[in-house]
Amino acid sequence: MEQDLLHFLIPTEEKLCVLTLESGHYLPQLRRLMPQAELYAVAADADESSEPVYEGLGIHWNGLDFRRERLPYPAEFFDYILADHYLEALVEPEDITAGLGYFVKPTGCLLTSFLNIRYSGILDELRRGHFSPFCTHPLAKPEVVRILGVSMYKEVVFAPGRQDMPDAVTAAWEKAGFDNYQNDLSTQTWLVKACRSTAESAALKALYSPAVRSRLSILLRRIEYDIDPTDNLKAFWRLYEQEMLFSDYVVDFLMAASRHPAKLTALLASSAPPSQQPMQILLNQLSAALRQSGSDRPSEVPTERAERQSL
């Protein structure tokens, strides 16, 4: 089987903002999937934009090398960034990956792919003393999760890009002691969807404006670090009531953003207006989240999910 990054996307009439980085081959299909979207493309070869295949697609082009030059876009501008195989050519992929995250909306995602170092075809070459991809750096899934984790992505979804190895070959490697979780040994290329928020959090974020999310962040940060705590606690509960914030959203927000969630929860509990059921529901959920996490510090490792495919 073989599929590409469009596997993660669905047809939509939404006015999304989508960027491709050295991945212009996706643009014609993206236009069909998203007829109302604003499509942007970056390519080191400035002449690529004049190719006939892109005529009439309404693409906003920039001719630059995104690995060496800063992208000329506002912060949190794109719903999706598509960048095929960019990780493999970088010495320090964490820097570029974190930089790309600056341009992704809080509800958006980075889509990429990588050559799998645990693919049995590569393992066989190594066993015979050969290694052909001299100019690239094949990766393993745990390494990709680490890179994305330190780059502040909250959820990582893997899907197989190309799986072509016979079962008998992978079985031999399994017999030799190699783990084959989710058919890793038969997968030459993995597709990756790295999101700024978990799926649950992103759905809730879409309900509130950036101004409301920013205000919530500022208030929680000020309360956490004892900046005018009385006034800011009152302001927090006013915001919670006036904007009818979902308790699930606030819990997820606090647990992800706060360095001292137990302290912050205690301060909120001590200041909650009495006999207000919605506020008590929030405090109960925060207490449950603290018990489940078992830590006063949020994890810096993103959630990993993998889509199992029937071959």
Q: In whole angstroms, give the CA distance from residue 159 to residue 181.
A: 13
pLDDT at 151: 87
Instruction: Give the residue among 35, 31, 33, 1 at the shortest CA–CA distance from 15.
Output: 35
Q: What is the DSSP letter of 302?
A: P
pLDDT at 113: 97
Chain centroid to CA 264: how far?
27
Q: For residues 255 and 249, is the Cβ–Cβ distance under 8 A?
A: no
Residue 42's SS3 state is strand
- Can you give the pLDDT of all 311 residues of the chain as single tens digits? 899 999 999 999 999 999 999 999 999 999 999 999 999 999 999 899 999 999 999 999 999 999 999 999 999 999 999 999 999 988 889 999 999 999 999 899 999 999 999 999 989 888 888 776 666 789 999 999 999 998 889 899 999 999 988 888 999 999 999 999 999 999 999 999 999 987 777 777 778 888 898 899 999 999 999 999 999 999 999 999 999 998 988 998 888 778 899 999 999 999 988 767 888 899 999 999 898 876 544 444 455 554 533 32
Q: In whole angstroms, give the CA distance from residue 17 to residue 81.
A: 9
pLDDT at 298: 42
State both tokens at 174.
């399994």
DSSP state letters, 239-290: HHHHTT--HHHHHHHHHHH-S-HHHHHHHHHHHSPTT-HHHHHHHHHHHHHH
State both tokens at 129.
């003393």
pLDDT at 233: 95
Q: For residues 302 and 145, is the Cβ–Cβ distance under 8 A?
A: yes
Which residues, listed in sequence order, are joined to residue 83 by a DSSP beta bridge? 112
Residue ranges in the chain assigned as alpha helix (H):
27-33, 93-101, 120-127, 141-150, 167-175, 199-205, 210-224, 229-242, 247-257, 261-271, 277-293
pLDDT at 60: 97
The pTM (predicted TM-score) of the whole model is: 0.75
Q: For residues 153 and 303, is the Cβ–Cβ distance under 8 A?
A: no
Only one residue has tokens 């004892």, namely 226
Let me know how long the chain is: 311
Burial of 277 per CB tally in 10 Å (0-12, 13-18, 19+): exposed
Q: What is the DSSP letter of 116?
A: B
Q: Which string of b and e fits 154-163 if b means at least 16 CB within 10 Å?
A: bbbbbbbbbb
pLDDT at 167: 87
